[in-house]
Structure 1
């Protein structure tokens, strides 16, 4: 793995349930892990649905393996990159060699 390609900062957020002062349960996103990644496979695409333009951009993020990265799953986590939110669609552990992990993501529709 060429370390110089890890030149983009990403933050992985975890979905947690918090309880406010009157007992309501709220879904909140908390920063879980921050690291440098290689962004590849970025494929911007747009489609129209019900008269709206929908952004279906997909991107792959490759990071170095560590204990915290091995705990990330496709549900309950998302990636923040360059001010944009990306849902994790799949995780490739790169032959389970414990060197790198690739996250296949799609931009969140807002």
Structure 2
């Protein structure tokens, strides 16, 4: 992987339970790791069965490291240019320990309200 292609910054956040001021457990996210990446995007392509025209699928390729090897889609999310992305899948690029590709879906507050009302 050429360094010149790692031209964008991403922040990985890890989900964790916190207590609010009333002692209730609430889910939140804390910054875990920040690094440079290569970005490739796909909007509503026919190749993806589950993708509709209004969904944004984006892939972030980062260098392999001890920090990135443990990242999964269950506990982590990515912040890129102020937008939040849920990790859909993780591709270890043939387990060569050079790079990892995170396929992500854009997440917004409107998405979470639509899911909770259905």
TM-score computed with the length of structure 1 as normaliser: 0.86
The corresponding residue for 2:112 is: none
Give the 3-state SS of the residue equivalent to 1:95 in structure 2: helix
The corresponding residue for 2:78 is: 79
Contact persistence 1:10–1:81 (CA under 8 A): yes
Contact persistence 1:55–1:109 (CA under 8 A): no
The corresponding residue for 2:88 is: 89
| Count of residue correspondences | 101
Work out the CA distance in 1 between the residues paired with 2:26 and 2:81: 26
The corresponding residue for 2:99 is: 100
The corresponding residue for 1:50 is: none
The corresponding residue for 2:27 is: 27
Give the 3-state SS of the residue equivalent to 1:71 in structure 2: coil
Give the gaps of 5 or more residues in structure 2: 45-52, 110-118
The corresponding residue for 1:44 is: 43
How far the C-alpha of 1:74 sits from its partner, in A, is: 1.1
How far the C-alpha of 1:76 sits from its partner, in A, is: 1.2
The corresponding residue for 2:14 is: 14
Consecutive aligned runs of 4 or more in structure 1 exceeding 2 Å deviation: none
The corresponding residue for 1:67 is: 66
How far the C-alpha of 1:6 sits from its partner, in A, is: 0.2
